Structure 1
Amino acid sequence: MELSEELASNAEAFSQQLRKMAVVIDAEISAAIRKGVLDVYKSITKRSPVLTGVYRASNSIANHDPSPEEGVVKKVMKKGEVLPSPQIPNWTWKVGDGDIWLFNNVPYAERIENGWSKVKAPQGVYRLALQEITLALAQAIQKSKILTSTGGAEG
């Protein structure tokens, strides 16, 4: 085999390996982002004030700009009836799918976010959940920098 043919063959094999690595990396990044978003969703659900359960049940996740009516739970409540907590949605996302929306479209959601629920959510719901995940992400990045700059264990 001539040198040029050998180089071409090695370059093609190397290129294939890079493509395979890119697929794995994209999948790992997508999984990490999904986990982070679902962690925020769980925190939002946990922090959501409950009177009838409609607000809590109307928390949603989407891969697109939600319409004003999307995600709103519409249920006629009987006196004393409480909606169950929502289950974690069957939600997928991968690198390149665009923005991720965490939202609640009930008419009073903005008031709750601005402290309307003085006892159960005086500082809002979404704001605190996002602060929590932002802090956790910053700590993870800092930990990563420390490990890589000191030659410590790989994570």
Structure 2
Amino acid sequence: MSFDADVARFVKRARDGANKLTRGVELELFRSAIMDTPVDTGRLRGNWQYSHGRPVDQERDAEDQSGVRTTSEMQSGVLSAPWPRKSYLRNNLPYAIRIEEGHSTIKAPQGMVRRNLRRIAANLRSQIRRLR
């Protein structure tokens, strides 16, 4: 084997590993945010929209009390998106940010996104420490 072939294999393995890690983190974070969204009619949960490249800027006329449809659509998007990329999970309902900021002390006082960001960041830090 040549040095060039060894380097090419290393680069491919590193890229594949980074892609797999990125997709795994996205799937876990986005799924958790969707499923932690409080449900009344399911409109808030049904308005989570995945995109890559640029964020979606419209509301959806969709209800999804179980989160199954929304999670499935997000997962399909994450798994089919090119890599590397910028990914977005966005909810454009006017009251989504108020719920995220804790204005509903009964339904989601810790938010939907920020609590999962903290949890996943802590998990990643822990895994990185173990690798050192």
Q: Verify same fold: TM over 0.5.
A: yes
Tell me what 1:148 maps to.
Answer: none
Stretches of structure 2 that go unaligned for 5 or more consecutive residues are none
CA RMSD of superposed structures (Å): 2.0
Q: How far apart in 2 are the matches of 1:39 and 1:18? A: 31
1:64-75 equivalence runs, <5 A: 64-69=53-58, 72-75=59-62
Maintained 8 Å contact 1:113/1:126: yes
| TM-score w.r.t. length of structure 2 | 0.83
Maintained 8 Å contact 1:49/1:117: no
- CA 1:103–1:67 in 2, change beyond 3 Å: closer, same or farther? closer
Tell me what 1:87 maps to.
Answer: 71
Instruction: Give the superposition deviation at 1:106.
Output: 1.4
Instruction: Give the superposition deviation at 1:141.
Output: 0.9
Tell me what 1:149 maps to.
Answer: none
* Equivalent position SS for 1:87: helix
Does residue 96 (structure 1) correspond to residue 80 (structure 2)? The answer is no
Tell me what 1:60 maps to.
Answer: 49
Larger Rg: 1
Stretches of structure 1 that go unaligned for 5 or more consecutive residues are 1-9, 146-155
Instruction: Give the number of the structure whose residues are more often helix, by fraction.
Output: 2
Does residue 120 (structure 1) correspond to residue 104 (structure 2)? The answer is no
Tell me what 1:133 maps to.
Answer: 120
Instruction: Detail structure 1 runs of 4+ shifted over 4 Å in the superposition.
Output: none
Amino acid at match of 1:106: L
Amino acid at match of 2:122: L
Instruction: Give the superposition deviation at 1:127.
Output: 0.7
Equivalent residues, number: 126
Identity, in percent, stands at 25
